[in-house]
Amino acid sequence: MIDQEAIRKHIRGIIEALGDDPEREGLKETPERVARMYAEVFEGMNYTNDEIAEMFSKCFDVPENGNHDMVVVKDIDVFSYCEHHLALMYDMKVTVAYIPKGKVIGLSKIARIADMVAKRLQLQERIGTDIADVISKATGSPDVAVYIEGTHSCMTTRGIKKSAARTVTTTFRGRFEEDKELQNRLLLMIK
């Protein structure tokens, strides 16, 4: 579990290290506010991928009649924090696709999985890998794809300061990795 008391203590120390007075008006309650915010925005750190898959594993049976349609949920808004700088990764859009294997997961569960996985200290590349892992476990399908496009404040507001830079990552598993035509079909749907 996230230790809010330790966060309060350390945020107070950061304020002092920045040369400000944590007792001045405006900052008095900042350590408490940050501790509550961190408990919310890092909620996913409380759970493993297996636990997230279990939490959101409610599926519905569908007949397997040789149909290999893909399910795609696109433009799922998420945010995360870069594990290298603790900087915000924002304006992120996630697309998740999978080919059902006898059952489908509720569409809102896909968005909940993406959201929970992003609520960790992360790399964009790992967010895609973790989402694919959880979706595969929850649905039983090995055929999963995740496409993410996002902006990283560690690139836009510090260092190189390229405000228009966007990062795109893809994760392909199973048939999405093996079948380039299926991959291209998905990528055309996203654009």
Residue-wise pLDDT for 145-158, tens only, equals: 999 999 999 999 99
Residue 66 has pLDDT above 60, yes or no: no
Distance (Å, whole) CA 40 – CA 65:
43
Question: Could you tell me if 79 and 89 are in contact, meaning their C-beta atoms sit under 8 angstroms apart?
Answer: yes
Tokens linked to 129: 């890998």
Closest CA to 105 of 149, 146, 55: 55
Residue 64 has pLDDT above 80, yes or no: no
Binning pLDDT at 50, 70 and 90, where does residue 14 land?
very high
What local confidence, expressed as pLDDT, does residue 62 receive? 84
Name the residues annotated as catalytic. Answer: 82-85, 124, 152, 154
CA dihedral 101, 105, 107, 108 (to 10 degrees): -160
Question: Could you tell me if 140 and 183 are in contact, meaning their C-beta atoms sit under 8 angstroms apart?
Answer: no
Residue 65 has pLDDT above 80, yes or no: no
pLDDT tens profile 15-50: 999 999 999 999 999 999 999 999 999 999 999 999
